[in-house]
Amino acid sequence: MARKRGGKLRFGCREIEALLRAVARGEEIKPFQVAKREVFQQFGIVGTDYDRVFTAIIYKFFRARGLVDKIVAKVTNLDPEKIEDLLTRTALRLGTYLRVLDEVKDENLLEAFHRCVRELIDPSYRQLFDAVWRALEGFEYVPSTRDEELELRYLVPSYLVKLLRQVVENEKELEELLNALNTPLPLGFRVNTLKSSIDRVVRKLRRLGVDAWPSERVPNHVRYMGGVDYTKLDLLRNGEVVPQDEPSALAAILLDPRPGELIVDLCAAPGGKTTHLAELSRNRATIIAFDIFIDRMERLKEMAMRTGTYQSILPMLADARYASRILGEEVADKVLLDPPCSSTGVLFKHPDARWKLTPERLLDTVMLQRALLEEAHRILKPGGKLLYTTCSLLYAENEGNIKWFLSKHPCYEIVPLKGPYEESRFLPGAMRAWPHRHGVSGFFYVLLEKVYRC
């Protein structure tokens, strides 16, 4: 059994197996944090020093995941994805991270990792694992281009670096943005004014030792730093607060739901914006909430019950691309569209998302977003309003989509947004929230009015 000696952790094969299997499980289950917690509970290391050290390693590993694969391919001329055995594939990747990219390079951990892991993997792969381990000794990854240099420094793929360069003003700002995408941001709660007040929530959080303060930009929103145990938080259990980033909590306010309106939320689950729409209308609007995923819809229903907004929300488990076939055309007074996106504005929260973006995936995402915009147009009444938002920083998913939409549908006009963030320099009247300028997740907003039928 591993013990702590001389202030340093000692690693036995049971601890190494917990680390390896947590990462392997994280390759299969998203978010990887859930997989890690399950495995650590199984191995009995939750809350221990091993939990703390391994959690940091796992988080940094997934943040560097794509670069790890580049190094493995460089050393072995082998695509790690071609290795069928999951545990072996994970061992090669994790070993590469620990030997090359991890700034700590704990010799005790490295020795135990090599010794224990080779006994855990499929015996037919041990020779390959040993060969890679030897090849990595003293290996240094040297970037060959400016974008690869930024990729290594900020662990953001060079493809994404190129895309982000298109939306900033110069190289200095690009690095400021890349740095911000790796910097922890304050978390947030939206205060449910049907049940509580911002003063009460701030006061209760501070009594729990949480550094909490009211947002200066978004009404009834609380920002905080530090850990909060959601399972023990009465404010959350009672529906007084909803976990929500500051930029996300602004969306429903911009759409301005009114009593008597029929509002359609086309990509609603897990329900933060949906329940906010109901709350702001004091439960006197009708909110039709579309989502295609059963588990996420169950979370929406639970949130609606907890927040006391269930009576004005109609869950619709269906593909929003067919909303007009289900509801009919020109039925909605307002539509909220917060479609699936690249999540490039929230990379700190989803560190593995950065390596999933490819030109093909971005094109598929943009095509889905445009299909949903078309459906929003079909169900919106003349005189109605459509709010389009994403947590993406990319031009193609934001201004590019809206310019395409307006070219097809001249009956729409942009309703200018006057803050609290910055006007888009690519589309007057639209708005962007920036991690490096505002200290929040990256977000895009545009409010469109359907002036006449077209």
How does the average pLDDT of the chain come out, rounded? 94
Q: Residue 349 has what pLDDT?
A: 83
Residue 370 CA to its chain's centroid (Å): 21
Question: Rounded to whole angstroms, how far apart are CA atoms 317 and 297?
Answer: 7
Cβ pair 204, 156 in contact under 8 A: no
Q: Which of 116, 391, 411, 454 is catalytic?
A: 391
Question: Rounded to whole angstroms, how far apart are CA atoms 107 and 134?
Answer: 15
Q: Residue 6 has what pLDDT?
A: 45
* Enclosing H/E stretch for 396: none
Our answer to whether residue 391 is catalytic in this structure is: yes
219 has pLDDT over 60 = yes
241 has pLDDT over 60 = yes
30 has pLDDT over 90 = no
Residues 6+ apart with CB under 8 A from 103: none
* Enclosing H/E stretch for 448: strand 443-450
304-312 average pLDDT score: 98
Q: What is the pLDDT of residues 354-364, one digit of tens each?
A: 888 999 999 99
pLDDT band at 4 (very low <50, low <70, confident <90, very high): low
107-136 average pLDDT score: 92
Cβ pair 372, 290 in contact under 8 A: no
401-422 average pLDDT score: 97
Q: What is the pLDDT of residues 415-432, one digit of tens each?
A: 999 999 999 999 999 999
pLDDT band at 31 (very low <50, low <70, confident <90, very high): confident
Query: Does residue 349 or residue 65 have the better pLDDT?
Result: 65
430-435 average pLDDT score: 98
Structure tokens at 203: 């006061």
88-92 average pLDDT score: 94
338-366 average pLDDT score: 92
2 has pLDDT over 70 = no
Q: Residue 138 has what pLDDT?
A: 85
Long-range contacts of residues 63-66, Cβ cutoff 8 Å, at least 24 apart: 63/155, 63/182, 63/351, 63/352, 63/354, 64/97, 64/101, 64/155, 65/93, 65/352, 65/355, 66/157, 66/354, 66/355
Query: Domains, the chain, ranges and CATH?
Result: 4-135 (1.10.940.10), 146-180 (no CATH), 187-243 (3.30.70.1170), 246-450 (3.40.50.150)
Q: What is the pTM of this model?
A: 0.90
5 has pLDDT over 70 = no
77-103 average pLDDT score: 91
